[in-house]
A and B are shown apart, each in its own frame.
Chain A
């Protein structure tokens, strides 16, 4: 018994000593790295930008598109000589996977802030996930440039947040304005609208946007139907829509559910005058068209980015994106386009105004607030062509566009004055 104990102690003692030595060594390295970047006057060599996106899991389709876009834009910025006012400092992109979960996004933010010591985080596409990151970034004065749409991200008094794309409620309202305008052209009015949306935060808020705009126009919803995000059978939802006898269906889907929805509409033969989605995810983007086939024909969705914007830079960018990744950039990529270019402008300004400490959260934020972009790549990729921040971090000139699937391709149909083709109405 005694000898057995001794054997154990020897081995354990060795293990403990080894672990302690490694631990102290690692701790020492950390202490050194911690001490280094505290001198603010040091020359900026690179700007570390974190990107948190859902690269695996339910929302992977969007996260991967965003990642593609970010890599492309960072490459372009660096190829043009980086941030000139910071002596040509390059942007270093550090990509993290949120695993499509809120705690995954939080963990990613935690790493980016305390290990990679990033200056800015872009992400996390899903609003609820973005909110968990703000818990980490706010106390550390790290600026989050959100590519998530839910209204209250910018309404909770966070100081270090920038959100350029139109809010979720704007998306909802845009879908209503579009359908109302479209029907007006034919001398018709919405009489029996039905709203269908998934039950997550984004679905609720975008749905509220639809509901409120309809209410303001004096139109009453016949039914408001919610379904779980991970729904596997849309048939009961379609039956309930049928029972409401609507003329127009407004829908706020995500990706997989949008495919199910479109296919169920087709197979169960739902006959309505028009189906308009809001929120920029699902139905009218290339990935959805690929997944759902002709079931999404003539359906529309609202987007935070217009891939057909006829500006010089945008045309070239879309071409580059197509060449490299073989598809049209839409929601997820588009938001990243103008967000990263705005970041570049902000950094340039900060380098001029605060050469002593350009990457400090307060200084950089002040510069973002000062920007008023009417030209350059950021403005040239933004739907309304102008970016100027409100004190809460939202864009004053936010606006969404509507794409319709025509002949298996997304086509810009709203705003009417910019449309490539007139929207096809009603559904056959």
Chain B
């Protein structure tokens, strides 16, 4: 039974591009939604488990995009290598920022502001650093289908890459949750001083969470750059981090399934509204999306995660 269920769900995900009629636009949108869901899932490490309100996703996302794109354009390096190098670069930046932050006990809103500041700082740096980025878009060479270079016209190519990344992220998050790391991080989240008293190296584990999160987020940036075919400092977008944290909070802070499910649902609604209203009454879709968010927070302040769980519970009891 369990096998059948897993297989059918896996089959659905694998066949999704076909179900979407191989329509590039819908696959593109689905991939975007999955990509942002990966970030939400990566945020589980730093936000869900370790309880740090990190808003810096845009910084790592942008860094991954710039590094991957730059290497592809100017050194003809395969995007696959770019993804890894971009991830490592993001880890480097995360370390430089995270180490002193945790060392000097930067927490709560102050940590949130610092992480958001990182996005803006990196954006300015790359706007001024004209050898690498600057104010002009840099275009990645067009290839009809070149899997080794990681560039293709057909969008299903990126869909499967993103799907793979999503599965890896889920696996890592699940392992962390079940393992010692998760326990350490949750104890830090719930009562950092008590955790420290019990002998947990809080700084070290927070840093581990941050580095994992930054690496995965940077990989999403690299995939994004290759998929849209250009990079620009505008990809250091503070909104990504805010969106990620909002979705994770609405989905239920610290819950495993709530945030990614919420991400898929909310982002689908957002795109649906944009497609149908974006051209007729500009901006209206953002207003409606905002209203949905407010309603969700008003009526389910603890997030949708517990609600989903109680729903499952109800069905089980029947």
Contacts and interface: CB of A to CB of B under 8 A. Distances in A.
Interface centre among B4, B232, B282 (most CB of A within 10 A): B282
B312 A11 contact: yes
A102 B225 CA distance: 12
Interface stretch (B19-27, B83-91, B98-106, B108-116): B19-27
Contacts of A26: 19-21
Interface string A293-337: 000000000000000000000000000000000000000000000
A30 B23 contact: yes
B279 A97 contact: yes
B230 A139 contact: no
Q: What class of interface size applies to chain A in its complex with B? A: 35 or more
Of the listed residues B12, B286, B313, the one surrounded by the most CB atoms of chain A closer than 10 A to its CB is B12
B154 to A, nearest CB: 10
Nearest to B127: A228
A12 B137 contact: no
Contacts, number: 125
B26 to A, nearest CB: 7
Contact of A128 (B21, B32, B137): B137
Contact of B137 (A27, A94, A102): A102
Interface residues of B, number: 48
A107 B30 CA distance: 12
B16 interface: yes
A13 B234 CA distance: 42
A102 B25 contact: no
A31 B21 contact: yes
B2 A5 contact: yes
A375 interface: no
A426 interface: no
A19 interface: yes
Contact of A102 (B1, B16, B234): B234
Given A16-B8, A131-B230, 20 more contacts: A7-B313, A9-B1, A9-B5, A13-B4, A23-B15, A26-B19, A27-B18, A30-B20, A55-B278, A94-B279, A96-B279, A101-B234, A111-B25, A114-B24, A114-B25, A128-B136, A131-B137, A199-B135, A201-B137, A228-B127
List 3 A-B pairs, minimum CB-CB distance, nearest first: A7-B316, A30-B21, A95-B279
12 contacts: A6-B1, A7-B315, A13-B8, A24-B19, A56-B283, A97-B279, A106-B228, A110-B28, A131-B137, A132-B139, A199-B134, A228-B135
Interface of A: 3-13, 16-17, 19-20, 23-24, 26-27, 30-31, 34, 55-56, 60, 63-64, 94-97, 99, 101-103, 106-107, 110-111, 113-115, 128, 131-132, 135, 139, 199-201, 204, 228-229
